Amino acid sequence: MALGSPFGTFRPPNISPDPVDGIGRWTPVDLANALVGGVSPEREHYYPAFPYTSFTGMTAGDIRDLYAYLMTLPKVSGRAPPHHPSILFRIRRFVGFWKLLFFREGQSEARLSGEPIHDRGAYLVESISHCAECHSSRNVFGAIKPDTRFAGGVDPQGTGFVPNITQQDLGKSSEQDISTMLKTGDTPDHGRVGSSMADVVTNTAMLPDSDRDAIARYIKALPALPTPEP
Contact residues for ligand HEC, defined by CB under 6 A:
125, 129-131, 133-135, 155, 162-163, 165, 169-170, 178, 181, 187, 193-197, 200, 204, 215, 219
Residue closer to ligand HEC, measured from CB, 18 or 219: 219
38 contacts: CB under 8 Å, gap ≥ 6: 45, 46, 48, 50, 52, 53, 56, 99, 103, 105
Q: Which of 130, 121, 136 is nearest to 203 (CA)?
A: 130
Query: What is the distance between the alpha carbons of residues 8 and 2, in angstroms, rounded to a whole number?
Result: 10
Q: What is the rounded CA–CA span in Å between residue 138 and residue 152?
A: 10
Task: Give least dist CB 177 to ligand HEC, A.
Answer: 8
Nearest to 28 by CA among 44, 38, 46, 41: 41
The nearer residue to ligand HEC, 117 or 193, going by C-beta atoms, is 193
Render the burial of 78-111: b for 16+ CB within 10 Å, e for the rest: eeeeebebeeebeeeeebeebbeeebeeeebbbe
User: Please, what is the Cα angle at 210 between 104 and 58, to 5 degrees?
Assistant: 20
